[in-house]
Structure 1
Amino acid sequence: MAVVVGFIPTDVGFKALAAAREQAEKRGGPLIVVNVVRVGVASDPRHADDQQLEIARDELRQATMRVEIRQENTEDDISDVLLRVVEEEHAELLVLGIRRQNDLARHLLGLTVQKLLLSSPSEVLVV
């Protein structure tokens, strides 16, 4: 079964990528890496550039399963894009990285993560 990871080019994003690779190898399924680019929001640090996507590819070169890296452009909510990919791929697991910048942030989740936790038809692993 497929594993989908919502990838952002940060330390947390690369930790989520590593966890997703491990899970995909355990489950024997493909790994679908998705970086969502919001149309009209060019300066968003969650958008991966070509160099960052190449670093992600390098991290996954030795993977034992099929790996697909997608960059999805959308005007929709990021969570809607990830949910669509999970459904299209019949994914068994969605992997997300969250930022924990301070003690308060550890107890609160962003709206995107909350929506994905509540709406995903698959299991969700938060890294």
Structure 2
Amino acid sequence: MTILVGYVPNAIGAVAVDFGIEEARRRGEPVVVLNTAPGGELGAQVANEQSISGVRRQLADSGLEHEVLHYTTSGRDAAEELVHVAEELDVSAIVLGLRRRTVTGKFLFGSTAQRVLLDANVPVIAVKPAP
């Protein structure tokens, strides 16, 4: 089995990668880090090559078997893609970073983390940066 980490290029994503590495080490499993967005969207969740290179170095330094998936999708948003990849890879858990959002923000924009929590068929581990 494998640990799947949903990555965004910020402090929230960094905490998710750190925790995912530790969880994979604890379980003796490989780790896969996924950064994805719907095709053509260049929002804040899309990592640039510098950020992805940093994640690759961190994973290589961990000594764990690992893979980084970084692409845009057509037809699926980030939550749908995380759940899809989790099913395809038959992962044991998904690690996601969380951020505080206002009620209005959740209502207007939805919550990727909430949708993954509700739709995934495996445990979802939610982590957040220290205050």
Question: Shorter-chain TM-score: what band?
Answer: 0.7 to 0.9
Quote the residue 2:85 is aligned against.
Answer: 85
Conserved in 1, the CA contact under 8 Å of 2:37 and 2:77? no
Q: What SS does the aligned partner of 2:62 have? A: coil
Quote the residue 1:73 is aligned against.
Answer: 72
What TM-score, normalized to structure 1?
Answer: 0.88
Q: Tell me, in whole angstroms, the C-alpha distance in 2 between the residues paired with 1:61 and 1:77.
A: 28
Give 1:1-127 correspondences, 5 Å limit.
Answer: 1-42=1-42, 44-75=43-74, 76-100=76-100, 104=102, 110-127=110-127
Q: Tell me, in whole angstroms, the C-alpha distance in 1 between the residues paired with 2:65 and 2:94.
A: 16
Alignment-mate amino acid for residue 81 of structure 1: E
Q: What SS does the aligned partner of 1:59 have? A: helix
Conserved in 2, the CA contact under 8 Å of 1:7 and 1:35? yes
- Structure 1: runs of 5+ lacking an equivalent: none
What per-residue deviation string (whole Å, max 9, x for no partner) do you get for residues 37-69 of structure 1? 321222x01100110001111222222321100
Conserved in 2, the CA contact under 8 Å of 1:25 and 1:64? no
Q: Tell me, in whole angstroms, the C-alpha distance in 1 between the residues paired with 2:111 and 2:15.
A: 21
What TM-score, normalized to structure 2?
Answer: 0.85
Percent of residue pairs identical: 30
Q: Tell me, in whole angstroms, the C-alpha distance in 2 between the residues paired with 1:121 and 1:64.
A: 28
Q: Tell me, in whole angstroms, the C-alpha distance in 2 between the residues paired with 1:72 and 1:26.
A: 28
Q: Tell me, in whole angstroms, the C-alpha distance in 1 between the residues paired with 2:19 and 2:12.
A: 11
Alignment-mate amino acid for residue 89 of structure 2: E
Q: Tell me, in whole angstroms, the C-alpha distance in 1 between the residues paired with 2:40 and 2:52.
A: 20
**1:96 Cα deviation after fit:** 0.3
Conserved in 1, the CA contact under 8 Å of 2:40 and 2:72? no
Report the count of equivalent residues: 122
Q: What SS does the aligned partner of 2:54 have? A: helix
Alignment-mate amino acid for residue 47 of structure 1: V
- Structure 2: runs of 5+ lacking an equivalent: none
